[in-house]
Structure 1
Amino acid sequence: MQIVWEASLKQSFMDRVIDTIEWLAAIFVGLVALDIFVSVLLRKFFNTSIPDSYDFGRMLLGILIFWGIAATSYRGGHITVDLVWTNVGPRARRWIDVFATLVLLFVVTVQTITLFDKVRQTYIDNVLTYDMNIPTWPFFAIGWLGDVSAVLLIAIRTYRLVFQPEALEDKHDANYNE
């Protein structure tokens, strides 16, 4: 009984981490939309703009991309080509997904390491926004945290593909239980 409760607690913690990361990605989508809406509104009706709106827009878009990678990495909701996958049995499907997820984990881990170097170099170079001279490295760091979150979620997905395939919720992975 104790082991079942601890496994349930771990799983619910992992699910809370996953949900938190997905909510953060959604918040960044809202921030980018709000920035665009307010910028267009100010430009169209008041002939003015937000100081550094271009810099904020491009940095928020970068943040959104990395947090979006994190959000799609766990669910497997990104574009895939399933020509071979659909023509094999459930066990082979599972191992194809494990292999693909391990490759994705490797690629995103390398990307995260190189992106950290970009954050560090931006900090060292003291890169500032054009109008208000705000340091840009915190925006890069938030994007990097999205990449770190992607690595975490891909690792959780890999673990669940191997040890708990029933814990994956999407229909794509439901075929493992056939």
Structure 2
Amino acid sequence: MQKNNFADRFINTIEWLAAIFVGVVALNIFVNVLLRKLFSTSIPDNYDFGRMLLGILIFWGIAATSYRGGHITVDLIWSSVGKQGKRWIDVFATVVLLFVVTVQTAMLFDKVRLTYVDHVLTYDMGIPTWPFYAVAWIGDVCAVILIAIRTWRLVFKPEALHDEHFEQKAME
């Protein structure tokens, strides 16, 4: 059994935070539906909160799935090449993903900054929206970090990955 280093603890923390955000979004929907059906009322700014929480969930979900490599993929070429070819395809795909998510993170930071500067508020209660965007941006930053860890491990330490196909190879 491999001992957990800082990177593994960081990865696990990101996955737990993403799971917590799933719970928060589900709880928000459940409570609002319950209030609407039983008491004919709703949470003030529920639409704004729901929209922003969903954005947070998406970016933290990207962070959680980016490292593991267990998300939906089309592996027609990958499955037909040898072990070394698979590794280089994985490295190339991860580097491209790292570039794309890094650019996305820079653009999302600009959105956070503009939302702060423009002093955008929620409709009912007038709560500033930039903190919600900032939490989503932090999730995107975590995705960049996790993809960078994945890239490093793919190149220098593939046995440390938690990919399904690496784990299956270890069991064989």
Matched with 1:127 is 120
Say if 1:98 and 1:175 are closer, same or farther in 2 by CA, change over 3 A.
farther
State whether structure 2 residue 56 is matched by structure 1 residue 63. Answer: yes
> Does structure 1 conserve the Cα–Cα contact (< 8 Å) formed by 2:70 and 2:164?
no
> Does structure 2 conserve the Cα–Cα contact (< 8 Å) formed by 1:93 and 1:176?
no
TM-score w.r.t. length of structure 2: 0.95
> Does structure 2 conserve the Cα–Cα contact (< 8 Å) formed by 1:160 and 1:168?
yes
User: What is the alpha-carbon distance in structure 1 between the residues aligned to residue 141 and residue 6 of structure 2?
Assistant: 18
Matched with 1:22 is 15
Counterpart of 1:133 in 2: which secondary structure?
Answer: coil
Per-residue deviation at 1:170? 2.6
Counterpart of 2:5 in 1: which secondary structure?
Answer: helix
Pick aligned residue for 1:166 from 152, 159, 163: 159
TM-score w.r.t. length of structure 1: 0.92
Unaligned runs of 5+ in 1: 1-7
> Does structure 2 conserve the Cα–Cα contact (< 8 Å) formed by 1:90 and 1:176?
no
Q: Where does 1:65-80 land on structure 2 (aligned, <5 Å)?
A: 65-80=58-73
How many residue pairs align between the two structures? 170
Pick aligned residue for 1:37 from 30, 48, 63: 30
User: What is the alpha-carbon distance in structure 1 between the residues aligned to residue 142 and residue 34 of structure 2?
Assistant: 34
State whether structure 2 residue 96 is matched by structure 1 residue 103. Answer: yes
Pick aligned residue for 2:84 from 81, 91, 111: 91
User: What is the alpha-carbon distance in structure 2 between the residues aligned to residue 56 and residue 65 of structure 1?
Assistant: 14
State whether structure 2 residue 41 is matched by structure 1 residue 48. Answer: yes
Say if 1:103 and 1:176 are closer, same or farther in 2 by CA, change over 3 A.
farther
Cα deviation digits, residues 80-115 of structure 1 (max 9, x gap): 110000001111101100000000000000000000
Per-residue deviation at 1:174? 4.2
Cα deviation digits, residues 17-69 of structure 1 (max 9, x gap): 00011111000000000000000000011100000011000000000000000
Per-residue deviation at 1:173? 2.6
**Fraction of identical pairs, as percent:** 75
Per-residue deviation at 1:171? 2.5
Per-residue deviation at 1:175? 6.9
**Superposition RMSD in Å:** 1.6
Unaligned runs of 5+ in 2: none
Matched with 1:146 is 139
